[in-house]
Chains A and B, each alone.
Chain A
Amino acid sequence: MGELIQNLFTADMLYALVFTALAAVIILGAVGVVLLPNIIHNAYCLILTFLGVAGLYLQTGAGFVGIVQIFVYAGAISVLVIFAVMLVMDREPKRTSPFIPKGKRNWWAAYGVILFVAAMFLTITKTVWPQFGSGLAEKTEVTQIADLFLGEYVIAFEAAAILLLVAVIGAIILAKGVKDE
Chain B
Amino acid sequence: MTIGLSQYLLVSSILFGIGLLGIVIKRNVIAVLMCLELLLNAVNINFIAISRYVLTDSAVAQVFALLVIVVAAAEVAVGLSLIIAIYKKKRSIHIDDFNILKG
Give the A-B pair count, Cβ closer than 8 A.
248
- A81, B34: Cβ atoms closer than 8 Å: yes
**Is A2 an interface residue when CB atoms closer than 8 A count as contact?**
no
10 smallest CB-CB distances across A and B, nearest first, come from: A133-B56, A98-B27, A167-B74, A133-B57, A175-B81, A120-B13, A34-B22, A137-B56, A117-B17, A171-B81
Jot down 18 A-B pairs with beta carbons below 8 A, ordered by A. A23-B11, A31-B18, A49-B38, A62-B52, A62-B62, A65-B44, A69-B44, A72-B72, A76-B73, A77-B76, A88-B83, A98-B95, A109-B21, A109-B25, A120-B9, A145-B62, A148-B58, A177-B85
Show the binding face of B for A, using Cβ within 8 Å: 1-3, 5-11, 13-22, 24-28, 30-31, 33-35, 37-38, 41, 44-45, 48-49, 51-60, 62-63, 65-67, 69-78, 80-85, 87-88, 92-95
- A88, B70: Cβ atoms closer than 8 Å: no
Which residue from chain A places its CB closest to the CB of B70 in the assembled complex?
A: A160
**Is A8 an interface residue when CB atoms closer than 8 A count as contact?**
no
Query: Within the assembled complex, what's the spacing in Å between the Cα atoms of A117 and B35?
Result: 16
- B28, A39: Cβ atoms closer than 8 Å: yes
- A81, B33: Cβ atoms closer than 8 Å: yes
Query: Within the assembled complex, what's the spacing in Å between the Cα atoms of A131 and B7?
Result: 16
Residues of B within 8 A of A80 (CB): 76-77, 80
- A57, B71: Cβ atoms closer than 8 Å: no
- B94, A95: Cβ atoms closer than 8 Å: yes
Label chain A's interface by main secondary structure: helix
Residues of A within 8 A of B24 (CB): 106, 109, 112-113
Contact (A144, B80) CB under 8 Å given A26-B15, A65-B65? no
Query: Within the assembled complex, what's the spacing in Å between the Cα atoms of A16 and B67?
Result: 29
Q: How far is the CB of A159 from chain B (nearest CB, A)?
A: 9
Residues of B within 8 A of A72 (CB): 69, 72-73
The contact of B94 among A76, A84, A98, by CB within 8 Å, is A98
The contact of B78 among A26, A129, A170, by CB within 8 Å, is A170
Q: How far is the CB of B24 from chain A (nearest CB, A)?
A: 4
Q: How far is the CB of B81 from chain A (nearest CB, A)?
A: 4
The contact of A61 among B8, B52, B70, B80, by CB within 8 Å, is B52
